[in-house]
Amino acid sequence: MHYPRRVSRIKRKRAIGFRARMRTKNGRKMMNRKRRLGRSLNVADK
């Protein structure tokens, strides 16, 4: 069975990973918003 969206892990990491978020001002704002809610941010592995 083939899944409909089969994105490679590397592409996903580059698009929405920690470093990609830290690269832009809005990404950093988003990270801080999530941190304020108490979320840990380095667990987006899947």
Query: Which H, E and C letters describe the chain, residue by residue?
Result: CCCCCCCCHHHHHHHHCHHHHHHCHHHHHHHHHHHHCCCCCCCCCC
C-alpha to C-alpha distance for 17 and 1, rounded to whole angstroms: 27
Condensed to tens digits (0 to 9), the pLDDT of residues 20-45 reads 999 999 999 999 998 999 888 776 55
Whether 41 and 14 have beta carbons less than 8 Å apart is answered as no
Domains of the chain (ranges plus CATH)? 7-46 (1.10.287)
- 4 band by pLDDT with thresholds 50, 70 and 90: confident
pLDDT of residue 29: 93
